[in-house]
Amino acid sequence: MKVAIIGMGTAGVSTLNQLSKHKKFKNITVDIFDSAEDMGMGKPFQNDSDRLLINLPANQMSLNPNNEKDFKKWYKKNDEFDYGKAKYLPRLVFGHYMKSILNDLLDKHDNIFVHKHKVDSCYVEEIKDERGQYKIDVCYIEDDEAVCQKYDYVFLTMGMLPYKDPYGLSGIEGYIESPYPTTQALRNVKEKDDIAILGTGLSSIDVIRYVMENHKRLPIVVTSRSAQFPTVRGIKHEINLKYINDKSIEKLQKTHKGMAPLKEVEKLFEKECNYQNINLHKMLYRFKKDNVYNLKYDLKHEDEVGHFQSFVEEVKHHMIPIWNAMTIDDKTIFLEKYGQHFKRNTNPMPQSSAKQLIEWIENGDIVVKEGLENVRKYYGKFRLKYKGIEKEDRYHYVINATGPKKNLSELSEDEHFIKGLENKQIIAAHPFGGILVLPYSNEVISPKFGTMPNLKVIGQLTSGVNFDANGVSLLVDQSVRAVNDLYIELKERKNTQKIQSKKK
């Protein structure tokens, strides 16, 4: 069996790592594809400023599904990095951890072949093999020539989509489209230039930390529509769910003809919160508009907040069957009511980042402004318009930290690989983000070819089905399931070949 893995960041390395652990790994050949700079590290964990911290403690990060502390163990043995007993390590360290796993695999196995090229396009042959599946052509440019190879099985593991451009500023001088690498973000900025940062999520915090240490013109303005930072990571709790589990969800679906009505789901949540001794209303509505108040609250109540965050994180791991049993209307209402709460509480910032933000805001070095409505460039400066305020603020540079795109409709023609798959009807957009795949198996559902068991997607592109799949542990979970399916397929292919040979 010939296998391709397209994208070698967290999802790609995890998939290859899981493939290699199987006793039948020697029976397949694997081609891996990515640019030289992304190969083995991906964009979030590339070499960049060491001020960019992972938002999870090091002892909770791992590509080993059986050992949560695998990354921390690697860090302790590695002499290249020394950040003492830091609880939160720089992102680049995790990148080197992934790179070391990849290099170890390449050293041990001669059936893995590296292609340091971005894949340009994919095609599906309309002739089925003996298993009733289509072969997939993967094409890339090498030495200015198009090269295409056929594969029995393909994993799409490209990671996050490019950053949003909500105000149509792409290509305008002074607009920094992506905050990464941050070491390049300020390369053309002069000391006297004013800077505004768009977005208040984790990417924005990365940018704030870097800009504050490398730019002298203060204050730095951070702005978005709501201008609310993520929560602060509290103390982790072990959570064992009693009511939100496969058995309860199956029972709920049987009662409601395969569906999970939102009102019934909310009842399950309430019962679970009561069982876990969580004051749901208090935790959901503890926020005020004042970011400093919110940050200080979470720091002061680290046990209670951490308990809730741990609960939400565990629930997120069980959301796939609930989410996919809801109607579109119920999903829409669910996101309106709870979407931001999931986002804020499953992606909290490190306590050290929160303490720095408080200090900078209270000193006036950082100004957080809500109600951003529009950004335009006029007479050499960017003009930022806020709701209810006529006068526009002016800045020399704007750094975009609004986060990655989520929907295929947001992609520009420059993102031609994904657009090409959609145009050829190999993939189709999911109404809640990413593309259509089967829950759990992550098999592509193609408008033209139907369900494709040998074309798997792992990562953000499955967010519409997998409830905004994000985080290393969730990606590893997806990789484990996808790889198990491949080896089942490999076994069934061999059985089919035996049957056919006997008939001959």
Backbone CA torsion sign across 348, 352, 358, 364:
negative
Residue position matching structure tokens 């949560």: 68
In the structure, how many helices (H) and strands (E) does the chain have? 16, 17
CB 184 within 8 A of CB 211: no
Distances (CA, A) of 274 to 271, 342, 420: 5, 18, 49
Beta bridge partners of 382: 377, 395
Given this chain, do its domains 2-161+406-503 and 175-229+350-400 carry the same CATH topology?
Answer: yes
Indicate the burial class of 178 (C-beta count within 10 angstroms; 0-12, 13-18, 19 or more): middle
The predicted model scores a pTM of 0.92
Regions of the chain short of the pLDDT cut 50? none
Classify 2-161+406-503 by CATH class. Answer: alpha beta
- Containing 80, the helix (H) or strand (E) segment is none
Q: Which residues neighbour 11 within 8 Å (Cβ) at sequence distance 6 or greater?
A: 157, 158, 159, 458, 459, 475, 478, 479
- Hey, CA dihedral for 80, 81, 84, 85, is it positive or negative? negative
Please report the pLDDT score of residue 503 as a whole number: 67
Cα–Cα distance for residue pair 448/124, rounded to 1 Å: 10
H/E element holding 75?
helix 70-77
Structure tokens at 165: 């451009």
CATH class of 175-229+350-400: alpha beta
- Spell out the SS3 assignment of 462-478: HCCCCCCCCCHHHHHHH
Dig out the tokens for 52 from the structure: 């960019």
pLDDT at res. 309:
94
150-181 pLDDT tens trace: 999 999 998 888 889 999 999 999 999 988 88
Torsion of CA 311, 43, 9, 233, to 10 degrees: -20
Task: For residue 35, give the 3-state DSSP assignment.
Answer: coil
Q: Distance (Å, rounded) from C-alpha 214 to C-alpha 182?
A: 10
Q: Give domain limits for the chain.
A: 2-161+406-503, 175-229+350-400, 246-346
Identity of the amino acid at 447? P
CA–CA separation, 335 and 312 (whole Å): 14
In Å, how far are 39, 115, 174, 468 from 45, measured between CA atoms?
11, 20, 25, 20
How big is the chain by its Cα radius of gyration, in Å?
A: 24
Contact 151, 5 (CB under 8 A): no
In degrees and rounded to multiples of 5, residue 10 shows phi and psi of: -60, -50
- Nearest 10 degrees: CA dihedral of 121, 126, 128, 132? 80
Which residues, at least 6 apart from 478, have a Cβ–Cβ distance to it below 8 Å?
11, 442, 458, 459, 462, 466, 469
